[in-house]
Structure 1
């Protein structure tokens, strides 16, 4: 991976943590995510119209990606309704590289290097410590299945989007159509589950959600673009440096409690991600 691509991915990680923090602002996590998805879909559609129309086979990748991204946002939204940014985010993001590595070894028959095995053990230890903190700190246990569901979806869309963008040969077009499909799917789902209450009425929610949408769009476009130039697993792992940004934002801005145990577990997660890529 070249230095410019590396710096771009690290910048994307910061943007990713930032939009997650913006979703945590306000009373309605559902409303914030709906606004984010609607704006992303609109922007994606306008950008996609400037590119050549995808061929038939690429739509299989796009439809799969749209569904998985919708599932990711649903899980993440409900996780934030039950937990702090500095607890949910590391669980949701840090587990994904672990899932990708384990599935790649067990299902696809990919061999693991010693550093990757060490990374898995370290990463798993950090995740277990962080999950254990939910019990010891009195937080809602309901956040766990949603955070881990979000992690599984992250692992899924990482592979699908990397391969899909390579198949199309145009990261910009792929991301545009994907966000349009995702925006439609997420909005329809939330309307069915929460009704018209899922649509925010105030301008502040739309303003915050719009900024989050642009940060999210830019972050993911960079990631998909990077996956067309560098190994998918490497890009995915580097994106998880966003864990550090998210924890710092939760601590410094939202005044979330930073216990020694939480700090240690996050450090292990990040160390595990780094070890898997050595």
Structure 2
């Protein structure tokens, strides 16, 4: 999506590292079934469509931030994210106002609790947009897949879930893809 919309270029090592990471995610994500077989269903297509929409939004955030030209990284990131957050908030309020009127009042009454969540979420989103501004979205999202590793480790340590050999292979592929992007991605 970044190549098509923004003309981003990926080096061959970065592309290989991204593909390695993607293959690892696929291994981790395959369902655990008794027969060891997996057949695609409707959730596959919903997931792919969601991923495609997320790719377009990530690349669009990068494009919006880069379009601000000579502005500092902090200014372009903050401006882009503030604009996006205002649009999302207006759309959400309109949706709730039409579909679930009572929720708008509850939302505003809970501002002191939700406010901190919003601030922390905004700061996290700023980090993502900064990264998208500095580097192509494909590489940033591939490095971001490291969060899946943390999730698996936490599920093992906290919930005592067993990590299968297939998941372990996926973890190693994701980790090597992330390291490859960081070291060789250019």
| TM-score, normalization by structure 1 | 0.46
Does 1 or 2 have the higher relative contact order (CA < 8 Å, sep 6+)? Answer: 2
2:150 paired residue number: 245
Corresponding residue to 1:153 among 53, 56, 70: 53
Deviation at 1:165, TM superposition (A): 1.2
**Preserved contact between residue 126 and residue 267 of structure 1 (Cα < 8 Å):** yes
1:181 paired residue number: 87
1:7 paired residue number: none
Unaligned 5+ residue runs, structure 2? none
**Are 2:98 and 1:213 equivalent residues in the alignment?**
no
1:165 paired residue number: 65
Give every structure 1 segment of 4 or more consecutive aligned residues whose post-TM-superposition deviation is greater than 6 Å.
205-208
Residue deviations 1:218-238 (CA, integer Å, cap 9, x gap):
11112223444x223444443
Q: What is the aligned residue count?
A: 168
Residue deviations 1:149-183 (CA, integer Å, cap 9, x gap):
33223321221111211222322122111111122
Unaligned 5+ residue runs, structure 1? 1-99
Change (3 A) 1:177 1:197: same
Deviation at 1:216, TM superposition (A): 1.9
| TM-score, normalization by structure 2 | 0.63
Secondary structure in structure 2 of the residue aligned to 1:133: coil
Residue deviations 1:48-77 (CA, integer Å, cap 9, x gap):
xxxxxxxxxxxxxxxxxxxxxxxxxxxxxx
Corresponding residue to 1:124 among 3, 7, 22: 22
Secondary structure in structure 2 of the residue aligned to 1:150: helix
CA RMSD of aligned residues (A): 4.1
Bigger Rg, structure 1 or 2: 2
